[in-house]
Structures are given as structure tokens and as C-alpha cells.
Amino acid sequence: MHTPLFDPADFAIAPATAHVCAGGEPAFLRRLGDAFARYGADKTRGPAGRIAQDAVVQRVRAAAAALFGVAAEGIGFAPSVADGVSMVSESLAWRAGDEVVLDGAEYPSVGVPFALLAARPHLRLASGDAPDRLLRLIGPRTRVVALSYVSYLTGERIDLAPLRAAADRVGALLLVDFTQAAGVVPVAMDIADFAFAACYKFLLGTTGAALAFWNRTRQPEWRAVSGGWYSLDPAAPRGYGAAPRLRRDGLCFSRGNPAFLALYMLEESLRYLADFPPARIAAHAEALIASLYPALLARGLIPTTPADPARRAANLCIAPRDPAGMVDALAAHGVLAWNGQGRVRFSFHGYNSAMDLQRILAALDAIGEQMH
């Protein structure tokens, strides 16, 4: 029961260690070292190497499109989720009274780009944990509904369909960060007008490149308002006599050259994940969570993650008295969990197993009630 889907030997996990922090930093996929070597070889080849690098960009777009069920032309790469969200927020012609609906505990990369706009819209912030809390705030002045599909803070998974329908009724954009879902649960990005996902978490890649998706079917008239060398339309004349013309696809999110090294690594991690259907990885993670959840309750540790499996993904969070102290104590017992924002987060991926559950519970029992 709960045998790993991935071969743990494929990852740089120390012996006798439960690595349960993929929502922060997953274990290193060893074959990424080969991708680094390929990048180094291509980088040294001069113009032919740049052609090879551009080919990697196109292959990664195709692989990501296949994983997320969207057109490859809509896929691009921003330096980070925050950069991608900022490009969208800055592109909109904000009007007096416009509103952005956010969760009050939303991840900063999604919320801060709207909060820092010079022509700042009114931020309508949801609170609590009711499943419809965001839905209740959408009204005639809503311009954007921005959210994480899975919360970094609690592990809650949001039902996007009602939000999509409500946004459509008032002509609002739906912008979704899929970071805590992509690579571990099924993701259909085309429900969003714009979607993003960091690549260094469950997608098993590295920092430096984030997936960006422009749903050109839903938003064919959208235009970025900032650009650079790479985001220029390759067919447009160069010069500054008129406004530069930008790419009309997802690659407009790469204003400068993409982070080629990060994309070489992402190509390798997507190849690895392609052998495991997302639904199968999701079922594996949920089985582990379903076993850990009652065991935490039995120890007086109340999860902040919803009990309903339909409202969670691969993260299980608790809020002990001393989260940092608990994470340090767990690490001393061979359990790598994630700290921050007043909670401890256990994240499961394909390399985790029943043995990891045993290590978590043994470590918690060894720590004792003083850490709860």
C-alpha cells in the first residue's frame, strides 16, 4: 500500500529521509544534471547552439500544452509568476471603480501586482474558508478575479467553474496561478483567461522560468504593454519610428531571452512526468493525505486543509504553536516539511510512500506534545 509511483532513486533524497516539501522545493531530479550538460554544450556552439536553444523553447511549449490541454501557441515563459501577473495587470486600462477580487490570504505573486498599480483598483478581499467566499464578492464592477487554484497557505483547492461562470456574467478576467497543482493534479488551463505556474515545485524543474498561458480564444484582443528583444514580433520591421509590434502568442511574456537553462531542465522534468498521468499522481498523493489526515487529528494536530478530498490537492497543512520549531525538530528526525506563514506544510509527490508516513508519525511522536 502507498508504494511510490516514481523510483526514489531518480531523486537526490538522503537515506532514511521523508522528503515531503514538494510544494516548496521538491527533491532534485537527478536527470536534470544531464539537461545542464546539454545546455552547456549548446551554449558553446555559437549560432548553431542558439538555434538548438530556440528548439528547446518550442519543444517545451508543446510538452506543456499537452500536459495542460491547451494550444501550444498560448504557452510562453515569464521569469516568474509575479512577472507574468504584473504584465497582465499593467496591460489593463483601469477605470474608476474597477475591482479585483482576491483572497485575503492570496500568495503575494498573485495579489501584489494589483496592489502596487499606480491606478490602483479597489481590492475586494475574501476572508474565511467558505468555498463560495470569492464567488460572493464578484459584482458588476469586478474587472479581474485572481487566485491560486491551490492555496500555498492551507492546501485548499478552489472550484474554478463557478468563478468562471460568474466572471463571464460581468465581463471580468479570470487569472489563475496553478503553481501548487501543476505536475501533481490534473490541470485544464483553458478555464482561465491567463494562467501561470512556477516550474520549480511539483513540475520538478528550477527557478528562472514560469509557465505563462494566454488564452487567445477567450482574449484575442489582449496586448502586452511592455516588451523587449525576445517579445518582438519576428516578422515586424525593427526601429522606433512607430510603436514596436510584439508577438501575438504566449512568447510575449519573455521580454528578454527566456531562461534557456531553466527550460532545458523543464524539458527533462516534463519528459519524466509524461510517463505518469496526472490523475494517477493525484490519486497517489490523495491516498497519502487520506492516511495522514486522521493520524494528525489523533495527535491533536488539526489540519487547516479541508477534509473534503475534492477541496485539496497534494498539500496538507497544520498550524502548531511553533511552526518553525516543529519543522526544525522534524528535520532532526529525518522529515523535511515546509515552514512559513504560521503553518507546517506536508507536500506529497510521486516519490513518497507509506514509509514516509511512518517516518512523519514517528517523528511527531518523538517530538511530543510540547511542539503541538
Q: What is the pLDDT of residues 17-65, one digit of tens each?
A: 999 999 999 999 999 999 999 999 999 999 999 999 999 999 999 999 9
- Above 90 in pLDDT, residue 11? yes
Q: Give the rounded percent of residues in the chain with a pLDDT score beyond 90.
A: 94
Average pLDDT score over residue span 102-106 = 98
| Residue in the structure block whose three cell numbers are 547552439 | 49
Q: Which of 14, 1, 2, 10 is nearest to 334 (CA)?
A: 14
- Above 80 in pLDDT, residue 216? yes
CA 85 to chain centre: 13
Q: Is 311 exposed, middle or buried (0-12, 13-18, 19+ CB in 10 A)?
A: middle
Delimit the domains of the chain by residue range: 8-20+277-367, 32-273
Q: Is 122 exposed, middle or buried (0-12, 13-18, 19+ CB in 10 A)?
A: middle
Least confident of 199-203, 230-234, 357-361: 230-234
CATH architecture of 8-20+277-367: Alpha-Beta Complex (3.90)
Each residue's pLDDT tens digit, 311-339: 999 999 999 999 999 999 999 999 999 99
Which three cell numbers, joined as nine digits, stand for 167? Answer: 466572471
What CATH number does the domain located at 32-273 have? 3.40.640.10
pTM above 0.95, yes or no: yes
